[in-house]
Amino acid sequence: MKFTKLTSAALAGATVLSILAPATTTFAATHEGGVIDNGGTPLAQTDKSEVGVSFGDNIDNGNTGFLRLQKVPKVLDFGNHATFDKAFSTFTADGKNYANDKNNQHASYDNSVANKTPLLNAGSDTALNEVANKAWVTVVDKQVTRNSAAGMDKATTQSAGDWFLSVAADDTLKTTSGQTIDGANLLFKHTQYDLTQNVYGLTNSDQDKTFTDDMKTVPATVTNKGTDPITKTAGALTDTFSLSLAAPATGGPTTTPEKYGQIVGKAAKDTGTGANVFAWAPEDLQLVMPTSAAVANAIYKTSLTWTLSTGK
């Protein structure tokens, strides 16, 4: 019993001492704003993280003008494949060996997972239904919004259209070490076409911001205001064509516009105001290799040149 009483007394005393002890001052590890405290660099310190998401091919090519070639596919990607089988010598721009799926290793020619053939994100623009989700080329025609200016060529008018879109191969398929595949062809099948007046919505280019307002000031004497797609003109669109992947021949056509290569489409005078879009489904873009091709374990590349011309 005595032991119990002593213990209780000791605990009571400890409690009294705790209540009477002075409060302890709290200090930060490093005081904010103190230059010396942090070795010459005061707190608070900041840095930034970039957060981004992207949709579609949204890199502008930098072309300008009332009539301009606004966009072409930067890559036509025919994939990476285990071997070349002469029985299956066709490859499509969605990275596949046609009718030979077991031969597909990577969707991209550079051995990465994602296929790099860009496809059009048309958003909610119903005028582009035929070309949405396809590889595409855009020609912007704002010629009707052009007013006469000092120094302008006398042959230049305010009329829409009267232009040609052409494409040609620049060389054979080659590796970086110079190995070649001769005799290959690039097949463009079932060319699609749409025309939209929502030019800025498609291009997202500052130079097209005023297009809608500019169209409101076009004189009534100017025939076309973007209501007549070039598909209404006979022969205006080349449905299917083949390009030989070879170095350009010397002594070829000298007349325009054929000198620039295969004509993809053309706009007759007074047609095509707005954004003219030519497109192909990836499976309709086909690389056809010669069955005799001998290939190395390497990347083979070439390039195409697209040309917008008037022949004037």
CA distances to 54, 115, 144, 190 from 58, rounded to whole Å, are: 8, 16, 26, 25
> Nearest to residue 182, comparing CAs of 242, 247, 252?
247
Rounded to the nearest integer, the mean pLDDT of the chain is 87
Residue 227: the pLDDT is 66
Residue 24: the pLDDT is 59
Copy the structure tokens of residue 181.
């595949």
Min mean pLDDT across 18-32, 113-127, 159-173, 263-277 is at 18-32
Question: Residues 225-253: what's their mean pLDDT?
Answer: 79
Amino acid at position 6, single letter: L
Q: Ranked by mean pLDDT, which of 3-17, 105-119, 238-252 comes out on top?
A: 105-119
Amino acid at position 307, single letter: T
CA distances to 133, 192, 198, 278 from 128, rounded to whole Å, are: 10, 10, 10, 10
| Residue 1 confidence (pLDDT) above 90 | no
Min mean pLDDT across 2-16, 49-63, 294-308 is at 2-16
Residue 20: the pLDDT is 44
Question: Residues 260-269: what's their mean pLDDT?
Answer: 92
Q: 180: number of CA atoms within 13 Å, CB side?
A: 10
Q: What predicted TM-score, i.e. pTM, was given to this entire model?
A: 0.85
134 close to 279: Cβ distance less than 8 angstroms: yes
Number of H helices, E strands in the chain: 3, 16
Amino acid at position 236, single letter: A
Amino acid at position 86, single letter: K
57 close to 122: Cβ distance less than 8 angstroms: no
311 close to 259: Cβ distance less than 8 angstroms: no
> Nearest to residue 157, comparing CAs of 257, 69, 234, 224?
224
What gap in Å lies between CA 148 and CA 264, rounded to an integer?
Answer: 30
| Residue 259 confidence (pLDDT) above 70 | yes
CA distances to 68, 139, 160 from 309, rounded to whole Å, are: 9, 11, 13
Min mean pLDDT across 150-159, 202-211, 224-233, 265-274 is at 224-233
What gap in Å lies between CA 231 and CA 271, rounded to an integer?
Answer: 10
The b-or-e profile of 180-193 (16+ CB within 10 A means b, else e) is bbebbbbbbeebbb
